[in-house]
Amino acid sequence: MLASRHPLSLGRDVFGLAPGEPTIASALHETGYATAAFLAANPYLSPRFGYDAGFNVFKDFLDTEASPLSGDSDGDKNARIPSRWNQGLAKVSHALGPVGSLYDALYFQYCQRLGSAPALSLDQLRRFPSADVIVDHARDWLTGVAGQPFFLWLHFMDPHAPYYPRQEALELMGQGSLDAWRARYLNSYWNRGDLVGPQLRRHREDVVALYDAGIRWVDAQVARLVSTLRKLGLWENCVTAVTADHGEEFLDHGGRYHPPSRVAEELVRVPLLLRGPGLARAGTVAAPFGLLHLAPTLLDLVEVPIPGSFRGRSHSELLRTGQSWESAAVVECVAGCNNPFVTENRLQPRVLAIREARYKMVFDFGSATEQLYDLHADPGELRALPVDAERPVRKRTLDRARQHLSDSLRSRDADYRLAARLRDLRLEWSSPAAWKSA
């Protein structure tokens, strides 16, 4: 999104932004813009992965540098005795068929009711600074740069798991107050690995309500930010984008959260709101808009040159005139990757999706399979079309996939890739955990 390139273009073993890689922040900074980022403690968006480049002010609210090699501490070995007892009992009970499920349920209830410290409040349980904290810092910064062109990036984690919204957000949603113990119980239940879909559905709507409240709180804080821009006389001349880096699954395809190795619609189709002087009146564009195109579009709207390394193209003229476009969005990820921090997890075959307005083709290179969906007739992607159906669509999307792979290989920058790998190796070998494992 920031560098306008596909995530695997530098290689599946490269994560984040490469040192020196042009971004929207660096392009604006070089043009004289004041730049700031306030990010809600997401370790993937840290200086460790190059996201501070181009920013005068970069505050990620991370107490310590996140390291992909930092393992658990040995800790107090006596504290592991209850865990070993539990593992032994679990092994015996699971050998007795249905007794295993009963043991899991009883042990879960024990952990929630007796084995955990009391939860005093939702604020105490929340892992990330809430949206009001992020906006407070942004408002303070804005008052200090009045009169300068500026670029401000805010990243919110309120809708992110674990779901612990502000009490005020629950009230805005008409849900009233929520006991902290109950919120922790719901999050722990939703995270259980021993349950399947029908059992999880018991609390699905309760968990979705927590997630929705997180989104509602972000809405309210964005409104506060807009109010500040209005008071400073900046709003009418601002280009503003509100979007997301992924969606969330609530058993849509049997899963939870947002696994980084899947490309289902609930995970990759995200909101995008654009507002700015000269844009067409409010409306909705039905054509897919890949976030690859966001940075060049924003730069074009403020008449700043677009870096030559950007792979997306500006849609500003189409947005100004209210026209639509005919193009496909390309989505890619690494199959089977459950922790992008670990390099080995990223060295798997890719999953590639070509998303048109109506059709979506998914190529899984690991299993050598392809699935075509008609999103008008099947918006939930529950039934792939027969292999002999819609042959022209299959040919068109296959050609687009080939073009994407060819472009990615041809545009791969060896210098950026090498710089990124050297940075990763330096950080890994400077980690005490790395020396210990060696």
Q: How confident is the model at residue 82 (pLDDT cuts 50, 70, 90)?
A: low
The pLDDT value given to residue 77: 42
Q: How confident is the model at residue 362 (pLDDT cuts 50, 70, 90)?
A: very high
The pLDDT value given to residue 321: 86
The pLDDT value given to residue 177: 86
In terms of Cβ atoms closer than 10 Å to its own Cβ (0-12, 13-18, 19+), residue 238 is: middle
Q: Which of 397, 298, 350, 421 is nearest to 1 (CA)?
A: 298
- Give strand ranges (E) for 302-432: 329-334, 350-355, 359-364, 369-374
Q: How confident is the model at residue 432 (pLDDT cuts 50, 70, 90)?
A: low
Asked if 365 contacts 35 with a C-beta cutoff of 8 angstroms, the reply is no
SS3 166: coil
For the stretch 137-172, what's the b/e string if a residue is b when 16 or more beta carbons lie within 10 angstroms of its beta carbon? Answer: bbbebbeebeeeebbbbbbbbbbbbbbbbbbebbee
Side chain identity at residue 335, one-letter code: A
Check residues 85 and 49 and name the one with the higher pLDDT.
49
Sign of CA dihedral 425, 428, 431, 436: negative
Residue 53 pLDDT exceeds 60: yes
What domains appear along the chain, each with residue ranges and CATH number? 24-437 (3.40.720)
pLDDT cut 90: percent of the chain above it: 69
Residue 65 pLDDT exceeds 50: no
CA distances from 53 to 50, 144, 304 (A): 6, 21, 18
Average pLDDT for residues 277-301, to the nearest whole number?
90
- Give strand ranges (E) for 60-149: none
Residue 397 pLDDT exceeds 90: yes
Q: How confident is the model at residue 96 (pLDDT cuts 50, 70, 90)?
A: low
Q: How confident is the model over 200-228, as pLDDT tens digits?
A: 999 999 999 999 999 999 999 999 999 99
Average pLDDT for residues 345-362, to the nearest whole number?
95
Asked if 241 contacts 294 with a C-beta cutoff of 8 angstroms, the reply is yes
Q: How confident is the model at residue 76 (pLDDT cuts 50, 70, 90)?
A: very low
Average pLDDT for residues 375-388, to the nearest whole number?
96
Could you give the dihedral angle defined by the CA atoms of residues 279, 280, 282 and 284, in that order, rounded to the nearest 10 degrees?
-100
Residue 265 pLDDT exceeds 80: yes
Q: How confident is the model at residue 433 (pLDDT cuts 50, 70, 90)?
A: low
Which secondary structure element, helix H or strand E, spans residue 153, and what is its range? strand 150-155
Tokens of 148: 């300068």
Q: Which of 413, 427, 40 is nearest to 221 (CA)?
A: 40
Tokens of 362: 């998914």
Q: Are strands 369-374 and 359-364 parallel, antiparallel or unpaired?
A: antiparallel
The pLDDT value given to residue 260: 86
Distance CA 187, CA 179 (A): 13
pTM of the predicted model as reported, rounded to 2 decimal places: 0.89
The pLDDT value given to residue 138: 98
The pLDDT value given to residue 71: 34
The pLDDT value given to residue 382: 96
The pLDDT value given to residue 103: 67
